Structure formats: C-alpha cells, structure tokens
Amino acid sequence: MSPVYFDHNATTPLSPTALKSLQDSLVEFGNPSSIHTFGRGPKKILRDLRELLAQTLGCHGVEICLTSCASEANTSILQTAWRWGRENQRNEIITSTVEHPSVAKTIEQFEIDFLESHGAVVHRLAPLRDGTFPIEKLKALLGEKTALVSIMAANNETGTVFPFHKIAKLAKAAGALVHMDGVQLLGKIPFSFKNWEGDYLSLSAHKFYSLKGLGAAIIRRGSPWDSLIRGGPQERQRRAGTENVQAAASWVGSLIEWREKAEKNLVLLAQLRDHFEARVMEEIPDVEIPCASAPRIPNTSSLIIAGIQGETLLMSLDLKGFAVGTGAACSSGRPEPSATLLGFGLTRAEAESSLRVSFGWFNQLAEVDAFVDTLKTVVSRLRNLNPKYLRSQLANTPQEEVLID
Ligand code: PLP
C-alpha cells in the first residue's frame, strides 16, 4: 500500500479539480493588474475565485481580500483591531488559550509593546478539557474596554468547534470588533458569513485542497482595515503585491469540487472518524478522546494514548506508511508539548502522549482499518518497551499516573 495521509489539518493534497485548474492556469503568466490581453486570463481567475468564495461563504465579493496565507490575514486583522481599539480607548483583547501561533504570538507582542503606553490587557479564555468553551467567562469579561474578541472557529488539534455565533453576538453587543480564525472551518462545517455577526474571518487555501501561498481575510463592509503590506493598489488597496494567480486557480478548482460534493464529503469524513474512534476505543486499552462529546469538525480525532511518546509513535507509524500528527504541524520538530493541548488543560504528560488523526476527502474506510491494525501493534510494542507502563499494568495503577514521564 502506498503511504496513507491522515494529517489534513496540517495541509491537504490538491484535489483533482484543483490540479486540473492549476495546470490550465500555468500558461497564464500575465499580471492580473495589466489591462492588456495578457492580464485578462489571470484577472478572470481572480474574479472566479472571489465569486466562488463569496457563494461558498455567503459574503460579498468586495469583502474578500486575498493574502499570502492565513497567518498574514490574522496578523493584518489583529493589527487593525488593536489600532482601532487604541483610538477608541479600548485597551483589552479577549482571546483563547488554544489559538494558532499566528494569533497567539501577535497578541502576545501587543501585550509586550503596549503594556506601559496603553495599558494593554489580554484575557485568555481556557476551554475545558472536554472542549467546552467558557461562554459565561466571556460574558463577564466583555465591556466598554474590549477592543477585540479573537476566537477561532474550530481548533486545529482537537477539532473542537467553538460557539462562534454566540461569541460574535455577545462581543458585538459590547461594541468590540470580532475576529475568527476560520482556517479549519472551511470544508468541514457549513458556515455563512452573512448569518454571523463578527467582522473578520481568515482562511487558508492549502487547508482546502489547493496550493500553498494563498489565504484570505474576509472583511465585513464598514469594518476598519489597515494594510499590513503597502504598495500597489491590489485587493482594493487593502493588500499590495501581485496575487498568486496559480494558487487562486487551484482554489477555484477545489471550491467547484466542494460545491458538488460537500454533503457527500462531510458524511464520508464523519464515517471515517467515527469508525476509527469506535475501533480504537474497542481494541486499544488506556486511550482517551477528551473532546469526544464536544461539537467537533467531522475529520479530526485527538487521542491520548497512555504509555507512549507521541513523537515516537508518529515516527513508528510513518515507517509503517501512515502520516499523522502530534501537536501542531507548524511546531513539529520542537520537543516541547503542544501549547494548544496544554491550553485545553491537558497535563504535559498527556500532551506528550497525544496523537492527532485528521482525515480528508480522499481517504477510504479500508485505509482506516489498516491504520487501526497497525496502531494496535505499534502501541503494544512501544508500551512493552516502557517499564513504567508495564509496572503500572501489573500494579493496576490508575491511568492518569501511567502517562509517559
Ligand atoms: N490558523 C489555524 C487554525 C491553522 O491551523 C493554521 C495552520 O496550521 C493557520 C492559522 C495558519 O495558516 P497558514 O499556513 O495559511 O498561514
């Protein structure tokens, strides 16, 4: 069997329609801003992308500002909101403990830079271990000093979906700006920008079966905007720089595919995940899925497997032909446990024993079965090499005490 990819929250393969659309676009070398013949093809690709994104998201084409990635969109949005807050005597930001680093680190920098000059205050709400969002705490924190509420739609590591309609409604009622990192939402749950009350949504093409190097900030009409990259008049003067036409063409393809197969794909993802979790819980002892009962995107399973080291498990599975995740993809290679899992209240030991499996549109049930068979063997072998786990089995120690050191 060729290697199987179960790490779709890190990035996705190109969908066949995205690949075809990309291939067709390769002859379009013109600058989309050029008014001569060569600019027309690229310009049409960007227009098609805006149209499809607008239809898919329920927003207006002019609300879409293309960027180089979601990290850039997040940074631009946060900088805008923080500047707006300072000008409006609002110096508080409410975020969560489980945001992607592009949000968490940008906010951390505001805190450092503006602590003295503007009394910057950052409130970081921690979801419960089971994924529940602390909505009552949010209510208590909101007030006339709140500049921005920035809470992601769905978490990349656990797959938990936060109550984004309620969050936006409450934050808008307090007069704050609202940002939502929607990177893990697109293609995983239905969403309408029109029916959501927030100001900004960020997206990434490569998490949606398209090329890397393209993201988008969806900016509600009337909400403030500061350009992070200044220069040319692209994107209605909101983001300078020639657009990534080829990535845009691939995104057009994957959006067309999604339009045709959304329902089927969502059912498939949930089937794969549910089958995987049912078999694991039935056949592998000492495994926990902390967020199992929380609202979740249908493709993600985050497990704590007692007695194993996530990194070692990942490498062993890779050797057997299965690509999975442990912690955030962006921070893999770093020995530190995932800050996101710690943000969900997991202990360091639990975070280090975690495994993330994220399924995609092109996975099959047979691959999941083969994976569980392999996982069983590998986990058993690694546990047999872990004296602490073996001792705990003999002594029948409670599970929480036998996680890796
Ligand atoms: N936000 C979330 C939730 C993510 O999962 C990621 C990528 O892992 C990003 C933002 C960053 O996306 P990009 O790679 O397009 O900058």
Identify whether 59 is a catalytic site residue. Answer: no
Q: With pLDDT > 90 as the criterion, what percentage of the chain qualifies?
A: 93
Q: Report, at the CATH architecture level, how domain 4-10+262-401 is classified.
A: Alpha-Beta Complex (3.90)
Give the pLDDT confidence of 8-26 residue by residue, as tens digits.
Answer: 999 999 999 999 999 999 9
Q: Which two tokens stand for residue 85?
A: 């807050």
Cα of 3 vs its chain's centroid, Å: 24
Average pLDDT, integer, range 69-85:
98
Other Cβ atoms less than 10 A from the Cβ of 40: the count is 14
Site to substitute for ligand 1 among 7, 103, 183, most atoms within 8 A of C-beta: 183
Cα(36) to ligand 1 centroid in Å equals 36
Kindly state the average pLDDT of the residues 323-346.
Answer: 77
Contact 54, 60 (CB under 8 A): yes
pLDDT of the residue at 395? 81
β-strands 354-358, 300-305 pairing: antiparallel
What band does 330 get if pLDDT is binned at 50, 70 and 90? very low
Q: What pLDDT does residue 405 have?
A: 53
User: Ligand 1 centre from 360 Cα, in Å?
Assistant: 16
Q: Which CATH architecture has domain 16-256?
A: 3-Layer(aba) Sandwich (3.40)
Q: What is the DSSP string of 77-119?
A: HHHHHHHHHHHTT--EEEEETT--HHHHHHHHHHHHHHHHHH-
Of 218, 217, 225, the residue nearest 69 (C-alpha): 217
pTM: 0.95
| Per-residue pLDDT at 397 | 58
- Say which DSSP state 61 is in: G
Residue type for position 175: G
Q: Is the pLDDT of residue 398 over 70?
A: no
304 DSSP β-pair partners: 288, 354
* Residues having CB within 6 Å of any atom of ligand 1: 69-71, 100, 102, 152, 156, 181, 183-184, 204, 215, 329-330
Whether residue 328 is predicted with pLDDT greater than 50 in this model: the reply is no
pLDDT above 90: residue 329: no
> Which burial class, exposed, middle or buried, applies to 335 when counting CB atoms under 10 A from its CB (0-12, 13-18, 19+)?
exposed
Average pLDDT value for residue range 290-318: 97
Residues written for the chain? 405
CA of 45 to the centre of ligand 1 (A): 24
The ligand 1 atom at the shortest distance from the C-alpha of residue 72 is 16
Q: Look at residue 399 and tell me whether its pLDDT is greater than 70.
A: no
Which band of pLDDT confidence, cut at 50, 70 and 90, is reported for residue 326?
Answer: confident
Task: Give the pLDDT of residue 335.
Answer: 62
pLDDT of residue 70: 98
Average pLDDT, integer, range 288-301: 98
Encode 129-143 in three state secondary structure: CCCCCCHHHHHHHCC
Which one is predicted more confidently, 30 or 330? 30
The Cα–Cα gap between 285 and 305 comes to 9
Per residue in 213-265, pLDDT (tens digit) is 999 999 999 999 999 999 999 999 999 999 999 999 999 999 999 999 999 99
The residue whose CA has the least distance to atom 7 of ligand 1 is: 10
Domain positions in the chain: 4-10+262-401, 16-256
Q: What percent of the chain has pLDDT over 70?
A: 95
What is the token pair recorded at 373? 């068979």
Q: Is the pLDDT higher at 127 or at 1?
A: 127
Convert the pLDDT of each residue in 140-184 to its tens digit. 999 999 999 999 999 999 999 999 999 999 999 999 999 999 999
Q: What is the DSSP secondary-structure string of 124-186?
A: EEPPPTTS---HHHHHHH-STTEEEEE--SB-TTT-BBP-HHHHHHHHHHTT-EEEEE-TTTT
CA–CA separation, 27 and 245 (whole Å): 11
